[in-house]
Chains A and B, each alone.
Chain A
Amino acid sequence: MGQPTKLGYFGKFGGRFVPETLMAALLELETEFKRAKKDKSFVDELKRLSQTYAGRPTPLYYAKRLTHKWGGAKVYLKREDLNHTGAHKINNSLGQGLLAHRMGKKRIIAETGAGQHGVAVATVACLFGQACTVYMGRADMERQAPNVLRMNLLGTKVVPVDSGSKTLKDATNEAIRDWVTNVATTHYIIGSTVGPHPYPYIVRDFQSVIGQETKRQIKKVEKILPHTIIACVGGGSNAMGMFYPFVDDKKIKLIGVESSGDGLKTQRHSATLSLGRPGVLHGSLSYLLQDNDGQVMMTHTIAAGLDYPGVGPEHSQYKDSGRVEYRSITDKEALKAFVELSQAEGIIPALESSFALAHAKKVARKMKKSSILVINLSGRGDKDMANAEVAQIVSDISKKLATK
């Protein structure tokens, strides 16, 4: 486990399944990334920006009330929601934005689902004076409306995507088409540990700061490492960033949580690792939700950031090797957890992170009180207030409060 092969494989997953037109850019990106990592000025600048601009390190918070409520393991939350722009996405965007700046690329493009990656990229484009275009499925633009406004305010052009399911998968297709056309001037900041090599490797590297900090922080407070770590998985960047620094320590249980939408037995879910089989989408071989003809299936979940039929190739490797356990949670269970954390701790989580929370509740209860459970709270939920189902829940709560 660790470094991908020369062709970009993690075990049998990964690779570069792309039009030849992109190869020059992918090879250049890999070379420049490796060079930048060895360059002290790049490393120092990224560290400085992470601290003074993004707000790192993010706290590792002991959730005492949640711990008591659940009645099991000591629950810690890695507060990625406290990052500038409200999610872990800024870690990767800062790294890649700085890399693009170093490579002299004046234009940045990105795809976005929940809009958190789009906002992070739009933000970083301001920081480095780059022109920015973000592709977003029309369905996602509706359910994540506040993030569209934020991107516009930051001077980013948000292009609605009307093909297919009008969500993240289709936005990614459009971003790739833009890149193929404008590859000489443009850097494509992929937001997750997906896509052709070297993207899964680069995104993991920039996100690994999450796990590295967590390791230091938990050692400082508890003197030991966590027993279990849980994160949600869409494409898998927050989970990979959290897990990667711990993968070699086999005693630590790592759990990735997907969305099973309306349920695994329905057609409406996005549980790629639970129900998919290996296939190629967006440039890499990985688990994929596809029909009997190899056509990519539409996915459904309330969390736009998890609404994706593929998953990062390294997650596929960890699934097959058994190093990470992958589970799924329904939209309904996630919404319950969303409300529970909000009211127990005064922390409104992103819907995506709520899937990790919902599964953590099941796990924590079965753990000893002396055991330590860390949940990666990948983002905050402000963006989800415009979501119809969230709005309904909030309205029900206010009605109840009014009659009290």
Chain B
Amino acid sequence: MKSIVTKKRSGALADTFAKNSRNKRKALMPFLTAGYPNPNSFVELVKRFSEDGADIIEIGIPFSDPMADGKTIQFSSEVALNNGINVARTFDLLDRLVGKISIPLVVMSYYNPILNYGLTQFGKDASAVGVRGSIIPDIIPDEKENVKAISDSKNIDLIYLLAPTSSASRQKMIVRQAQGFVYLVTVAGVTGARRETPPSLVKWIKQVKADSPIPVCAGFGISDPSQAKKLSRHCDGVIIGSAIIDVMRKEQTKKKQVDAAVAFIKKIRTGLDNG
């Protein structure tokens, strides 16, 4: 496996995972929708997540038709769009954090807003505000020619999703093509917090981990510290999105929303560290 690892590009994400590996630490990757609950609170959340346990933060750029997302992220996307968030505005908000946070960011965006912004420009502008990876849920590796321009010369990893429905041959192809880390989708379904973890999941994660030359992180449906802890034992980290937004939606004021989200992230961090 080592020979394959050396062929991979080295980047900020690889550095993060390498450092974690030395420290026996699991990566915590919280997701935030840019501009949710409002632009200022979002900026504060990124900053505090970076100080309180996140290793990488996934920044969602809102899209009008998020077909891979459940109700929660549909909601936060709609709020963000109503707050006037687009690609440029997302980068403006992240620009406020340059020099203030020391962890890498990855962006999550559907393809159309990126296509519209221009791929090369997107890569350039994203890179300038600390983005080191991109997750495009409607781009499969088969269509990678379309998005190559994002990563060309900009050292932005193109992260691909691996699904429980992926065939053995697609799994092989995806772990080979993925950069940064493999985003292992834990359930066939849309994003959204779920309580139960399918019993066959751990077995599959172990198998992917054994096949993959790069780190593997699990996401979709992870809602509490014990679930996060359980899954992270078998891979390199976890991605938590909807559960954070659900926590915020229970609070009335923006301050309480930020505090609740940070408290939730700390709880997950503690869970992971005591795995």
Chain A: residues with CB nearer than 8 A to chain B? 7, 15-25, 27, 163-164, 169, 173, 176-177, 180-184, 279-283, 288, 290, 292-296
Quick check: B67 and A294 within 8 Å, CB to CB? Answer: no
Instruction: Output the nearest chain A residue to B110 by Cβ-Cβ distance.
Output: A280
Which chain B residues have a beta carbon within 8 Å of chain A's beta carbons?
Answer: 63-70, 74, 81, 86-87, 110-117, 137-140, 142-143, 146, 160-167, 170, 174, 185, 188-190
Q: Do B64 and A20 have beta carbons less than 8 Å apart?
A: no
What are 8 residue pairs bridging A and B, where the CB atoms are less than 8 Å apart in the complex? A20-B174, A21-B189, A24-B167, A176-B67, A182-B188, A183-B165, A279-B116, A293-B116
Task: Please name all residues of chain B whose beta carbon is closer than 8 Å to the beta carbon of A181 when the two chains form the complex.
Answer: 188-190
Q: Which of A16, A279, A290 makes the CB contact (< 8 A) with B140?
A: A16
Contact B165 A23, beta carbon cutoff 8 Å? yes
Distance, CA A173 to CA B114, complexed state (A) = 19
Q: What's the Cα separation between A164 and B64 when bound, in Å?
A: 8
Whether A180 and B68, one on each chain, are in contact in the complex, defined by CB atoms closer than 8 angstroms, is: yes
* Alpha-carbon separation in the docked complex, A290 to B113 (Å): 10
Shortest beta-carbon contacts, A-B, top 7: A294-B116, A293-B86, A21-B163, A294-B113, A181-B189, A295-B64, A20-B163
Docked pose: A182 CA to B189 CA in angstroms: 7
Complex contact A21–B188 (CB within 8 A):
yes
Determine the chain A residues whose CB is within 8 A of the CB of B70 once the complex forms.
177
Q: CA separation between A23 and B160, bound complex, in Å?
A: 13
Q: Give the residue name and chain of the A residue nearest to B78 (CB).
A: A163
Distance of A21 from chain B, by nearest CB (Å): 4
Contact check, B189 vs A280: say whether CB atoms are below 8 A apart: no
Cα A157 to Cα B253 in complex, Å, equals: 39
- Nearest chain B CB to A290's CB is how many angstroms away? 7
B74 pairs with A163, CB closer than 8 A: yes
* Smallest CB gap from B116: residue in A: A294
Of the residues A15, A19, A180, A290, contact of B143 by C-beta under 8 Å: A15
Q: CB-CB < 8 A to A22: which residues of B? A: 165
The answer to whether A173 touches B112 (Cβ under 8 A) is no
- CA A283 to CA B163, docked complex, whole Å: 17
Among B64, B111, B160, B189, which residue has its beta carbon within 8 angstroms of that of A180? Answer: B189
Minimal beta-carbon separation of B271 from chain A (angstroms): 27
Residues of B within 8 A of A18 (CB): 138, 140
Question: From residue B220, how far is it (CB to closest CB) to chain A in Å?
Answer: 9
**Given A21-B188, A164-B65, A180-B189, A295 contacting B167 (CB threshold 8 A):** no
Do B115 and A279 touch across chains, with their CB atoms under 8 A apart?
yes
CB < 8 Å: which of A16, A19, A280 contacts B142?
A16
Using a Cβ cutoff of 8 Å, how many contacts connect chains A and B? 115
With the chains together, A183 CA to B187 CA distance in Å?
11
- Which residue of B is nearest A19, CB measured? B68
Known contacts A173-B67, A280-B111; is A184 also within 8 Å of B117 by CB?
Answer: no
Give every chain A residue within 8 A of B68 (Cβ-Cβ).
19, 21, 177, 180
In whole angstroms, what is the CA distance A292 to B89 when docked?
13
CA A164 to CA B146, docked complex, whole Å: 28
CA distance A174 to B39 in the complex (A): 28
A16 to B67, CA, bound (A): 14
Is A293 a contact of B113 with CB atoms below 8 Å? yes
Q: Determine which of B110, B116, B140, B165 lies in contact with A25 in the assembled complex, contact meaning CB atoms within 8 Å.
A: B165
Please state if B117 and A23 are interface contacts (CB–CB under 8 Å). no
- A294 in contact with B115 (CB, 8 Å): yes
Closest to B68 in A: A19
* Chain B residues within 8 Å of A294, by CB: 63, 87, 112-117
- List the B residue with the shortest CB-CB distance to A25: B165
Q: CA–CA, A18 to B111, complex, Å? A: 10
Q: How far is the CB of A56 from chain B (nearest CB, A)?
A: 34
Residue of A nearest to B220 (CB): A21
Query: Please, which residues of chain A bring their CB within 8 A of the CB of B63?
Result: 294-295
The residue in A15, A17, A181, A279 that gathers the most chain B C-beta atoms within 10 A of its C-beta is: A17
Q: Report the minimal beta-carbon distance from B26 to chain A, rounded to whole angstroms.
A: 23
Closest residue on chain A to residue B85 by CB atoms: A293
- A18-B138, A21-B165, A293-B87 known; 18 other A-B pairs, CB under 8 Å? A15-B143, A17-B138, A19-B137, A20-B185, A21-B161, A23-B165, A23-B170, A24-B170, A177-B69, A177-B190, A180-B189, A181-B188, A184-B188, A279-B112, A280-B112, A290-B112, A293-B113, A294-B87
> Roughly how many angstroms separate A177 CA and B189 CA in the complex, as a whole number?
7
Closest chain A residue, CB of each to CB of B137: A19
Q: Are B138 and A283 in contact (CB under 8 A)?
A: yes
Chain B contacts for A15, CB-based, 8 A: 143, 146
Q: Which residue of A lies closest to B69 (CB)?
A: A177
With a 10 A CB-CB cut-off, give which of B64, B86, B110 has the most chain A CB atoms: B64
- Rounded to whole Å, the gap between the CB of A320 and the closest CB of chain B is 17
Establish whether residues B116 and A19, one from each chain, have CB atoms under 8 Å apart when the complex forms: no
Report the separation of the CA atoms of residues A282 and B110 in the bound assembly, to the nearest whole angstrom: 11
Contacts of A282 in B (CB 8 A): 65, 67
Assess whether B140 is in contact with A23, with CB atoms less than 8 Å apart. yes
Complex contacts, B161 vs chain A, CB 8 Å: 19-21
A280 and B163 form a contact (CB under 8 A) = no
Separation of A163 and B113 alpha carbons in the complex (Å):
19
In the complex, the answer to whether A17 meets B139 with C-beta atoms within 8 Å is yes
Residues of B within 8 A of A177 (CB): 67-70, 190
Contact B65 A296 (CB under 8 A): yes
Known: A7-B142, A16-B142, A21-B189. A296 touches B112 (CB 8 A): yes
- A340 CB to closest chain B CB (Å) equals 37
> Which residues of chain A come closer than 8 Å to B66, judged between CB atoms?
173
Give B167 Cβ to nearest chain A Cβ, in Å.
Answer: 6
CB distance A184 to B165 under 8 Å?
yes
CA distance A64 to B86 in the complex (A): 55
Contact A19/B87 with A173-B67, A177-B70 known, Cβ cut-off 8 Å = no
B86 proximity list for chain A (CB < 8 A): 293, 295
A228 to chain B, nearest CB (A): 35
Minimal beta-carbon separation of A122 from chain B (angstroms): 23
- Is there an interface contact between B138 and A280, defined as CB atoms closer than 8 Å? yes
> Which residue of B65, B113, B163, B188 is within 8 Å of A173 (Cβ)?
B65
Residue numbers in B under 8 Å from A279 (CB-CB): 112, 115-116
